Structures are given as structure tokens and as C-alpha cells.
Chains A and B, each alone.
Chain A
């Protein structure tokens, strides 16, 4: 019926999933290396295809445009790096690698559809395909009490979030009579902003808020992040968040452009509350994963400001911010994983004196945290600059002031980590340098390069993001 060619990247990824599954079934334990290689090759092929296939729509539900391509590239890059994070997952955690990779890739596949979906049913299935594997991966080491507990909490809250989103969809559907996002616009103009429509929109916002980890829908984040295996925490924080934002952009920009004043007002409030709560709650944390979880909540608070300033500038800043955030956060998690491998701990005390044991890791962590805090000339600063400038030019000056104050506040806990690394004395038994396997080294090099390059020379990505968004917003 339509042009299947457009779906080629997704088909390749799905094919990779099946292949990994089959290879996992027939291979012996010493051939595990092939699983990782296969996944990497699959992801790389997907990325390449992504930029080969033409833009266009598949039916009414799927649209491969520039925005989708940009987001998919981010997600696939995250997927690639997280696969490298998990290179010897089975050895370190004693859990099967094949199923792990299948779940990880399925989750990635789900996000690809979130980035392209223009119809409620496909978006819903894509959302659940993103979430379920992540829930299962969070609980992937159920003998660890934290993992099982985090998984159950994640599942229940994700199910609730999805149910609320779904309920919102059903109310909107009852009012508009279509599941097609583009078709919603004329239908909703006809009905007007009835309480039913507004309530439906609100339920959708709550569901999106859950996925983006906005306060008060964020409560799952710290617990799931802490419980999950660290590589999965990294994926959750980067790809999971990207999925939430792209879903929000798709639904709201395509389906509810008329109600923009309603939802941007709500997002303004949520952004303010989210960044404050995330930053304050991060201050007393001593567990690195938890600290980064709250930090990611605060970051979500900043990013959602781009939705408040729902214009070319705002949206393109979101895309740039997500890219910068990917590098900084994955670099930080890379160091967390490296330290966890050697000391079996994610507590802050394991980082004491890291600068003396492993100066390179220490420097990467320093760069990553400073980038997250938005210190120039790193990627995080350029991202904050564009984002804040966009919100500022839309007239939300109070929000920008609050965000700047929050950035200053966030330095408090980032510096706490930096202090532990550079100033505090290591524990007596922790004198050996941290060994970093090759796969992890690759990730660290790539992400560090990204942090520096995006900060010093941001224009290519910025221009690309702007171009993509302009095309997306022009009907």
C-alpha cells in the first residue's frame, strides 16, 4: 500500500533483534562476543539507513521527517554506547547477555516509532514497547533486592502513567472521533475547548510528564535509576528522557497546536517546580546513581522550558540540549560503571581520591559534571545558552532567572562529587588504579570528545536542529 522503504531502518533493527535472539539460542557461552558485535553492526546499519532512506510518510501513522531522523540518531547513538557499556555484562553481573540485548534493542525500536508516530495507537504501542523492556531490564538482576524493587515500582508507575495517558486519549477520542493526530486539529477546533477536551489533554500531559520525569510525576525516577543495572540507568536517563520529549513534541505539536497556551502554561509551572525539586533533592545524596537521577530530573526541568517556548528556537534548543545531555550524562555514567566494576560500589565514598588513582577517569568525570552544570566552554553551556535565550525571547523572563539560579544551585552538588574526586583522601584499601576495558574506553573517548566539540564548535548541530525544526513546524 505504501512505501515500505521508508521503514527500512526500523526493519533492520527488528531484524537485528531476531538475529540476536537466534544466535543466542544456538551459540555456546564462549561465542557471546558475537551477540555484542551483531548488535553493534545492526545499530550502525540502522543509523546509516536512517540517513539514506528518503523523508516521507508510511500511511497516516508513520512519518520519517528531519525531526524523527535527528531524534533517532540520538537514540541510536545512546543505544550504541550502552551496548558498549554492557560489553561483558554477563561476566560482571552473572546474568544472560542475549536476552539483555534483545530487551535493550526492543526498547530502542520502540523509541524509533515514538519519534515517527503521528497516530495515537502507534504511539501508544511504541511507548509500551519502550517501557516494558526498560522495566524488565531494571529488574534484570532480581536477586539484588534493589533491582527487583526498582523494577516493580517502575512497572506500577509506568503502567499508571500509561493508563492515565490512555485515559486521556480515550477522552480526546470521545470528543474528536479520531486517533489521527493531524485530524485532531480541525476536530478540536470544531468542538472547542470543552472540559472534556481539557481534561483529556491534562491526562495526556500527566502521562508525558511521567515519561519526561517532571515533578510530581517523577517519583519513579530515583528508585528505578538506583535499582537498575548502571548501564540501564544510563540508557534510561538518556534515551528514556529523549523518548519522553519527542513523544511530547509529536503529540502536542501535531495534535494540540491550538491549545498551546493551555499546555505551555502548565509546562511553565512544572518546569519551575521540577528544576527546583531536582536540584534541592540532589544536594544531600551520597549515592552516585541517585545523585545523577535527581540531576536528570533537574535537567528535565530545564529541557521542558523549550516546550514552554514552543517556537523554532525553543524546539531546536531542546534537540541541541538532548544531544549535549547525551554526551555529558553517558560520560558520567561511564565513569560510574568503571568505578563500580573495580570497587563494587556506587557510593560517593568510592570516588574519594579518584584523581590520584585514575587521573583520566577523574578528568572525564569533571568535564561531564561541569557540562551538566553548564560551565563554559563545554557542551552543557552552549545548550543552556540556546535554551535560555529561546525562553527569554518568548518573554518568560522569570523562568529564565529561576533556571539560572538553579544552575548555580546545581553546582553545589556537582562540586561535592568533584571535591570527593580531587580533594578527598582515598580509602586505605582503594589504591589501585581503576581498570577500564576497551569497550568502555571507546565510550569515554567518544563522549568526552562530544562534550568538548559541542561546546567549542556548536554551530553544525545547532544549524541542523534549526533546519529540522523549521521543516517540522511549517505545514
Chain B
């Protein structure tokens, strides 16, 4: 059966080629072709999933592709284990939802065919990445994923921000990718293999120890940092929101950005072999989680809020992996894929209706967009992590992982992030869907082709959590049977987490729903205070003060740092490359004799440097 797994990625590739070659003529059928292809991929993936539920042993198949002398060999192959089948299902499923949704969302767009070709190409690359059995192939598909996301982000070429965002995503991730590539090469150099299973075995048997192991793990992590938008390479993700919203749902929420997390999970033994590397992963993840969550609290653009939320949640997953919580990280990846895709698609539905991204120009939409509003509420609750929604289970798993690892600081940080998460997502919800309608825009419910995926995803966001225990055994199986699942059944952790969520919700409710504290009227600060006291919101007020005058200032400061400093550094490197190019170009002055001069001068320099350093010449000079 495994021999036929290649069909899963090849179907979308075929769809991409067909749609691309059909050009304008294929406009009408483009959506159906690519959605149809991915539908069959999903069916096959589900078959694999079912088969692996029964027998979760990893299976591998490979062929030799390039063979240079010595032991430098490149293989083409597939590795299928529980992690793979989960990713296969997640990718094909979200991709199918997004493609169906896109048929409605992009109905009016001129470049529809191009869009579906790109999105199929992206799905193909992502599936190839998931299936690859060796790191070189992983890297190839990794780059292909980057390329197709570059094309999709810059899809609306006429918007200069879109074009720039595409370029930026490409340039920024390149930094991480470079580290990843070097990591792979170093690994290949020392272990003489790129095969994931063999690398894992080598790491477990202690062949990757000390500085080397740490070094390799961190280099690979660099790639994950770039792709999964971890600090400090997270800056491309918010900008990437310039692309069409379904693309954001697919690439920047559910699949591509999860590739970094997937990568770390894929070569998990390499990381567990080095405590330092695990520490770095955990703290980079933890810091990113809280850092991005604070920024999300002050954004006005609906997609930017979700983008920072994604960065924050990916940080969460990284933190889980860094704490050794393999299951927690992968499970959160899965649930997050469902509810974040839903959030984005719902946001897209809203944008589609009101033609703006600014949340302050929306409002009261729940009445006119019942399905969108309801499904978004479900997703928000799931993101916030309220029992019994899926987010609750996966987040608790992460917090437990931190507890198991004995990292109390990360645990506290995680709980605080949960508070912030709850705050910003309900802030979003209240501002957009409740209150007075800002009726400059008509706003109407989206067509069924768009709401159907919303509802399907909503069901998953709600229900996935109940299978947590089942998944846990299944996922952990891919690490080898000898690994025990530790759990300190601590009641306090979920309780604290729930309290944090409640706090966040409460503040969002007060500020943005009840408008108990007007967010705009700074001048009425004192009457406000009075009102507050009268309404006995005194305890809240301390926190509110914190939110308004400390948190928001800190967040705004961080946001500024983000856009100016980190961003600037990246743009600087690209700028430098262009300057170098322009400078070298000026050497080609166009005058014939300058060329001749360069020729002869080159000859003289080479001659002198060869002659004066040559031992035979030195010997005869008196």
C-alpha cells in the first residue's frame, strides 16, 4: 500500500500543471479540477490514516536518485508514520476546505486559474514535504513550499504591498533556510546519511553528542524559526496577510507555518539528544508566544490580529516540543489547524462582505452574518481554550508538558499567554460582531460554497479535543514504544489556565462589549473611574489600568521595534545585495578600452601573484 502513497502529492501537482497549461480557457473549471484532485488525495490520506490507526509502525520506501562517488547518494523516498498520516490528513483537509471556499471567494477574480494552479502547487509541495524520507528531499520541498507561498502572497501583484510582502517572506525565510541547509550538510558530513530514520537512530544511540549535536539541532531549528515565524524571523508573517485571505488560512495558519513545527517533530531525536537545543527551542517558542500575543492586543487589522495570533500559537507549539511534549506540540498543531483556518476563513467572509480589513469599521455583523459569526465564535472559544473545545485539550497538554519538564517559568508564561489570547480574540469578536453596526458597508452572509467549509471546520474545532487520549497513544507510537507518557495529574494547572482565559474574556467583554470603559475617551478618565467604582469593578480596574497604560504601551513599543528594527535589518541585507549588484554593474562601463584594460590588468595581477609565490621561481632569484 505504501508504494502508492506518491499518488497523494502527485494528484495536486497534476491539477496544477493542467490548470496552468489551460491558461485563460480553463478559468471556469480551474477550481473544480484542483478541488477534485485534492479531494481524492484526502480520500487516500484517510485510508492511510485508518490503516495506521490499526498498525502504527513506520513504513519506508525509497529509490536511489543521484549517486556520486563515495557515499554521497541522494535518495527519493517516502516515510510514513503516524506523524505523517496526521499531517497528510490535516494538509489535504484544510486545502480542500480552502479550495472549496475559494471558489466563492475568488469567483470574481481575473486570475482565478492562476490562483488555483498556485494553490495546488503549494499543496503538492506541502504533501511532498510531509512524505519525504530524507532531509535533502525535505529541504527541496521546503524550498518549493517557500516558492509557491511567495507566488501566492504576491498574487495581487497590482498591490505594491502584496508584491513587497511576497518578496519579504521569501527573503526572511531564506535566512532560516540557509541555517537549515548548512545543518543538513553538517549532519550528512558526520553521519553519512540524510535518511530521517537513520538520523534518528544515530541520535538515539549517542552519535550526535556535545557541541556537534547542539550545533546541528540549532541549525535545523533556524529553518523552523524562519518557516514557523518564530522570533526574530517572524516579521514576514503579518505582512504576508496581503495575499488573498483563503491563502492566509491555508498557508499562514494551518499548513506551511506548521512546517517548522513538523520539522522539529520529524527529527525530534536530534533535539532530545541535546539539552541546550531543547532549552533554546522551548524559550524561543515561549518568548515568541507571549511576544506576539502582546502585539496582537493592539492591532486594528483583522488579519494582522490573526497573524500575530498565529505566530503566538506556533510559539506555543515550539515551547511544547522544547519541553519534550511531542504529543502536545503535534496535537496543538492539529487543533490549531482547524480553528485557525476557520478564523481566517470567517475573517475572509467578513472582509468579503464589508470590503475592509479594519475592525473599527465593522461592528454588529452578527445579525447579518449569522453563520460566519457563530462559527467564528466557536473558533474563538477554541483558540482561547475553553472546555470542551479542542483548544482546551491541546493547550492543557502543552502546559502539562511544561510542568513535566519542570519549567515553572514557561508554565506561568504559558498561562499568561492564554490570558492575552483570550483577551485579543474576544476583543476581535466583540468589535466585529457586536455593538452598533457601522453601516457604511452593506454586509451580507456569504454564499453556501463559502459557509459550508466554515461549518465543517467549526465541527472539527469543537470535536477534535475528545479524541485527545486516542491521539496521544497513536502519535507517541511514532517515537518508539519505549517512551512513557508522563503526566502529573495536576488539577491546578487547568484551573489556573481557565481563570486566565476568564480574565482575558472578562476584560475584553468590559472594554469592547459593555463599553464599560470607553476605549476612545481618554479625557473622561476620571468620570470613568468614578463610574467604575460605582459599578464595583474595582479589581478589574487595576488590571485595566495595567492593560491600558502598561500593557498597551509595551505592546506598542514592541510593535514599533518589530516594524522598524527587525524589519529594517532584513530589508538592509536585501538592499545591500542590490547595491552590490548596481555597483558591480557600473564596472561594465561600455568602453572597449576599459575592458581591455581589465583583461591585461587581470593577467598582470595573476602573473605577479603566481610568480612571486612560486617556490621554483623563488629558488632562482638571486
Contact = CB atoms under 8 A, between A and B. Distances in A.
Interface of A: 152-153, 156-157, 160-161, 164, 192-195, 198-199, 202-203, 205-206, 209-210, 215-217, 219-220, 222-223, 262, 266, 277, 280-285, 312-313, 355-360, 362-363, 375-377, 382, 385-386, 389-390, 392-393, 404-405, 408-409, 412, 415, 419, 422-425, 458-459
A222 B603 contact: no
A246 to B, nearest CB: 22
A220 B587 CA distance: 12
Interface string B148-174: 001100110110000100100010001
B606 A206 contact: yes
Given A284-B585, A393-B70, A415-B170, A359 B20 contact: yes
A157 B599 contact: yes
Contacts of A280: 577, 580-581, 584
Nearest to A352: B157
Given A193-B617, A198-B617, A423-B155, 15 more contacts: A152-B592, A153-B592, A156-B596, A157-B595, A160-B596, A202-B607, A202-B610, A216-B599, A280-B577, A280-B580, A281-B585, A284-B585, A357-B23, A382-B66, A423-B166
B285 to A, nearest CB: 27
Nearest to A283: B581
23 contacts: A157-B592, A194-B620, A195-B620, A198-B610, A209-B602, A216-B599, A216-B602, A219-B598, A219-B599, A220-B595, A222-B588, A277-B584, A281-B587, A312-B69, A360-B21, A376-B140, A377-B65, A386-B66, A390-B69, A404-B181, A412-B577, A419-B157, A423-B155
Contact of B174 (A215, A389, A408, A422): A408
A280 B578 CA distance: 8
Contacts of B17: 363
B373 to A, nearest CB: 34
Contacts of A409: 577
Contact of B581 (A152, A281, A360): A281
B301 interface: no
Given A156-B596, A199-B611, A356-B24, A385 B66 contact: yes
A376 B181 CA distance: 14
B4 to A, nearest CB: 19
Contact of B151 (A312, A389, A404, A422): A422
B70 A195 contact: no
Nearest to B178: A408
Contacts of B585: 281, 284-285
Interface string B13-42: 000010011111000000000000000000
Nearest to B589: A219
B582 interface: yes
A164 B114 contact: no
Nearest to B23: A359
B22 to A, nearest CB: 7
B23 to A, nearest CB: 4
Nearest to B582: A284
A262 B69 contact: no
Contact of A425 (B147, B151, B157): B157
Interface residues of B, number: 59
Interface in B331-353: none
A375 B111 CA distance: 26
Contacts of B181: 404
Nearest to B155: A423
Please indicate which of the listed interface residues B68, B580, B601 has the most CB atoms of chain A within 10 Å of its own CB. B68
Interface of B: 17, 20-24, 65-70, 72, 74, 111, 114, 140, 143-144, 147, 150-151, 154-155, 157-158, 163, 166, 170, 174, 178, 181, 577-578, 580-582, 584-585, 587-588, 590, 592, 594-596, 598-599, 601-603, 606-607, 610-611, 614, 616-617, 620
A390 B592 contact: no
Contact of A206 (B158, B603, B611): B603
Contacts of B68: 313, 385-386, 389-390, 393
A282 B581 contact: yes
B170 A262 contact: no
Contacts of A199: 607, 611
Contacts of B111: 356
Contacts of A216: 598-599, 601-602
Nearest to B578: A283
A219 to B, nearest CB: 4
Given A202-B610, A206-B603, A223-B590, A419 B74 contact: no
Contacts of B150: 415
A193 B614 contact: yes
A219 B65 CA distance: 38
B21 A161 contact: no
A423 B157 contact: yes
B112 to A, nearest CB: 11
Q: Interface of chain A, helix or strand or loop or mixed?
A: helix
Given A195-B617, A223-B590, A281-B584, A393 B157 contact: no
Nearest to B143: A375
A362 B181 CA distance: 29
B406 to A, nearest CB: 40
A422 B114 contact: yes
Nearest to B17: A363
Contact of B577 (A217, A222, A283, A404): A283
Contacts of B155: 423
A406 B295 CA distance: 37
A392 B69 CA distance: 11
Contacts of A153: 592, 595
B614 A198 contact: yes
A421 to B, nearest CB: 11
Contacts of B601: 216
A161 B599 contact: yes
Contact of A284 (B21, B22, B578, B606): B578
Given A164-B603, A198-B614, A199-B607, A219 B595 contact: yes
A156 B610 contact: no
A219 B21 contact: no
Given A198-B610, A205-B606, A422-B114, A210 B599 contact: yes
A157 B584 contact: no
Contacts of A220: 595
Contacts of A386: 66, 68
A386 to B, nearest CB: 6
Contacts of A459: 67
Nearest to A393: B70
B582 to A, nearest CB: 5
Nearest to B114: A355
Nearest to B111: A356
Contacts of B23: 355-360
A124 B317 CA distance: 67
- 3 closest A-B pairs by beta carbon, nearest first, are A283-B581, A216-B602, A219-B595
Contacts of B157: 419, 423-425
Contacts of B166: 419, 423
A10 B602 CA distance: 36
A328 B599 CA distance: 29
Contacts of B578: 283-284
A277 B598 CA distance: 14
A99 B338 CA distance: 68
B588 A219 contact: yes
Nearest to A195: B617
A210 B580 CA distance: 24
Contact of A313 (B69, B158, B588): B69
Contacts of A423: 151, 154-155, 157, 163, 166
Contacts of B581: 280-284
Contacts of A152: 592
Contacts of B577: 280, 283, 409, 412
B227 to A, nearest CB: 16
A205 B610 CA distance: 12
A356 B27 CA distance: 11
Nearest to B594: A219
A194 B585 CA distance: 39
